[in-house]
Amino acid sequence: LSGYWKFLLASSPESVPEKFYDAYFNDSDWEALPVPSNWQMHGFDRPIYTNVTYPFTMNPPFVPNDNPTGCYRTVFRIPKEWKGRRILLHFEAVDSAFFAWVNGVPVGYSQDSRLPAEFEITDFCHPCDSEKENVLAVQVMRWSDGSYLEDQDHWWLSGIHRDVLLVSKPQIFITDYFFKATLDEGFRVADIEVEVEIDSQKQDREHVSTLSIEATLYDNYGPADVLTSDMSAASVANLKLKPASRPKHCYGFHGYVLGGKVENPKLWSSEHPNLYTLVVVLKDSNGKLIECESCQVGIRNVVLAHKQMLVNGCPVVIRGVNRHEHHPRVGKTNLEACMIKDLVLMRQNNINAVRNSHYPQHPRWYELCDIFGLYVIDEANIETHGFDESSHFKHPTLEPFWASAMLDRVVGMVERDKNHACIIVWSLGNESSYGPNHSAMSGWIRGKDPTRPIHYEGGGSRTSSTDIVCPMYMRVWDILKIAQDPSENRPLILCEYSHAMGNSNGNIDAYWMAIDNTVGLQGGFIWDWVDQGLLKEDADGSKNWAYGGDFGDTPNDLNFCLNGIVWPDRTIHPAVHEVKYLYQPIKITMMDNMLKIENVHFFETTEALDFSWLLQGDGCALGSGSLNVPSIAPQSTHLINMKSSPWFTIWSTCVVKEIFLSINVKLRYQTQWAKDGHILASAQICLPPKKGFVPHAIALPRSSLVSERVGDHVLISKSNAWQIKVNSISGTIDSWKVNNIELMSKGIHPCFWRTPTDNDKGGFYTKPYVSRWREASLDNISFYSSQFSLKELPDQTVEISTIYYGLPGNQPKPDETSLSDESESVLFRVQMRGRIYDSGDVILDYEVSPKNDLPPLPRVGVVFNADKSLSRAKWYGRGPFECYPDRKAAAHVGVYESGVDELHVPYIVPGECGGRADVRWVALQDADGFGLFASAYGESPPMQVSASYYGAAELDRATHNHKLVKGDDIEVHLDHKHMGLGGDDSWSPCVHEQYLLPPARYAFSVRLCPLLPSSSCHDIYHSQLPC
Q: Which residues are catalytic?
A: 431, 496
Q: Indicate the SS3 state at residue 720.
A: coil
874 touches 934 (CB < 8 A): no
Q: Residue 528: is it exposed, middle or buried by C-beta count within 10 angstroms (0-12/13-18/19+)?
A: buried
Close Cβ partners of 178 (under 8 Å, ≥ 6 residues apart): 194, 195, 418, 419
- Run of H or E including 575: helix 575-583
CA dist 488 and 469 (Å) reads 9
Q: Residue 837: is it exposed, middle or buried by C-beta count within 10 angstroms (0-12/13-18/19+)?
A: buried
Angle, to 10 degrees, between the axis of helix 336-348 and the axis of helix 363-372?
Answer: 30
* Cis amide prior to 626 (ω within 30 degrees): no
CA dist 896 and 921 (Å) reads 11
861 touches 974 (CB < 8 A): yes
Three-state secondary structure readout of 866-909 = EECCCCEEEEEEEECCCCECCECCCCEEEEEEEEHHHHCCCCCC
Residue 652 backbone phi and psi in degrees, to 5: -70, -25
CA dist 984 and 989 (Å) reads 9
Strand partners, 932: 924, 1010
Taking the CB of residue 476, how many other CB atoms lie within 10 A of it? 18
Residue 168 backbone phi and psi in degrees, to 5: -100, 130
Residues in the chain: 1027
**H-type alpha helices, 596-644:** none
Taking the CB of residue 941, how many other CB atoms lie within 10 A of it? 10
- Run of H or E including 446: helix 436-448
CA dist 820 and 807 (Å) reads 11
**Alpha-carbon distances of 470 from 22, 505, 988, rounded to whole Å:** 51, 19, 20
What is the end-to-end Cα distance of the chain in Å, rounded? 82
The beta strand positions in 883-1015, using DSSP E, are 892-899, 916-919, 921-925, 931-936, 943-948, 969-978, 1002-1011
Angle, to 10 degrees, between the axis of helix 508-517 and the axis of helix 476-483?
Answer: 10
371 touches 275 (CB < 8 A): yes
